[in-house]
């Protein structure tokens, strides 16, 4: 039997904590043994999550803790130099991120709760 090297889905928050185009819920992950912040938000009814790391310069993007959307709440916008990302795909649509994209974290919702799915590269913060 192959060794299982990914952790099971991790509880992130209650579904009701992710309001449509509202404030993101932030959480911590380990990517390649380094701690990285991540965030989840709801857009067009879908819960989505990404590493909090801009494709332009690998730095955190929020304007204030959990605030990632532009003034019109149509796009994720980096607070540093204004890179603009599609909230559902994480693809750069404008600004200095060029053809880059945010690193997506798979999330699912079940019984009123949101879970994120670790991978071989992106693990829960309590693992290394």
Report the residue number, 18 or 102, with the smaller CB distance to ligand FES: 102
- Taking CB under 6 A as the criterion, the residue among 12, 18, 24, 83 binding ligand FES is 83
Contact (Cβ atoms closer than 8 angstroms) between residue 112 and residue 120: no
What is the Cα–Cα distance from 30 to 71, expressed in whole angstroms?
A: 30
Choices 3-11, 73-81, 98-106, 114-122 (CB under 6 A): range interacting with ligand FES? 73-81
Report the residue number, 79 or 119, with the smaller CB distance to ligand FES: 79
Give the list of residues 6+ apart from residue 41 with CB closer than 8 angstroms, or none.
18, 21, 22, 23, 24, 25, 47, 48, 49, 68, 69, 87
- Which residues form the interface with ligand FES (CB under 6 A)? 54, 56-57, 59, 61, 78, 80-83, 95-96
């Amino acid at each position: 039997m192959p060794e299982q090297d990914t952790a099971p889905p991790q509880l992130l928050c209650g579904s009701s904590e992710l309001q449509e185009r509202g404030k993101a819920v932030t959480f911590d992950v380990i990517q390649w043994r380094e701690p990285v912040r991540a965030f989840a938000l709801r857009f067009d009814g879908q819960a989505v999550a990404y590493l909090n790391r801009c494709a332009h310069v690998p730095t955190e993007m929020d304007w204030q803790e959990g605030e990632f959307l532009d003034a019109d709440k149509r796009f994720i916008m980096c607070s540093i130099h204004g890179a603009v990302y599609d909230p559902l795909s994480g693809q750069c649509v404008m600004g200095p991120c060029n053809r880059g994209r945010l690193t997506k974290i798979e999330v699912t919702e079940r019984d009123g709760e949101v879970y994120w799915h670790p991978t071989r590269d992106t693990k829960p913060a309590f693992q290394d």
